[in-house]
Structure 1
Amino acid sequence: MDINEITTFFGWCTVINLAVYLFSALAIIVFKRFTTNLHSKVMGIDAKALPQLYFNYLGNYKLGILIFNLAPYLALKLMV
């Protein structure tokens, strides 16, 4: 693998992960009642605690995308 292939890989990883992130955020926002009821029944977590858990999940996922996908992509783009 050369640097151009690795750069392309990180670019597509970033796009795919951002799509998953946006889908998750929209599902939580648009279908809030459904997702809260589903997760509280399946996981046995109080429905009042779920908004904080959703916030933590989305924040950690976004941070992971920035650190493990976008930062290497930008660094490799600057090298080439």
Structure 2
Amino acid sequence: MLTLETLIEFLGWSTLINFTFLLMTTLAIMFLREPIIKIHAELFNLNKEDLSRAYFNYVALYKILIIVFNLVPYIALKIIV
């Protein structure tokens, strides 16, 4: 049975794991941009500007989704318990 404490713990770990993945992705894009762009440009036939925009959109959307679906419910449940 899912208790409130279990749900809070799940959301906490989920938030931590997702933010860690977001940080690793951001660092990879920052420091390995050229090799990543070269691979993706060949795979998807996109130019550098389009790929830079796609990377930014991906990171921004992923961050928003983490906040909306992990962090905010975690904080709300911590407040009411």
Q: Shared topology, TM-score over 0.5?
A: yes
Comparing 37-46 with 11-20, greater Cα deviation is found at: 37-46
| Structure 1 SS opposite 2:48 | coil
Distance 1:57 1:24 in 2: 10
Give, in angstroms, the shift of residue 49 of structure 1: 1.2
Number of aligned residue pairs:
80
Give, in angstroms, the shift of residue 43 of structure 1: 1.6
TM value normalised by structure 1: 0.95
Residue 10 (str. 1) matches residue 11 (str. 2)? yes
What is the letter of the counterpart of residue 41 of structure 2?
S
State the identity as a percent: 35
Number of the residue aligned with 2:77 = 76
TM value normalised by structure 2: 0.94
Mark the runs of 5 or more structure 1 residues left unpaired by the alignment: none
Mark the runs of 5 or more structure 2 residues left unpaired by the alignment: none
| Structure 2 SS opposite 1:49 | helix
Superposed CA RMSD in Å reads 0.7
Residue 58 (str. 1) matches residue 56 (str. 2)? no
Distance 1:61 1:15 in 2: 14
What is the letter of the counterpart of residue 12 of structure 2?
G
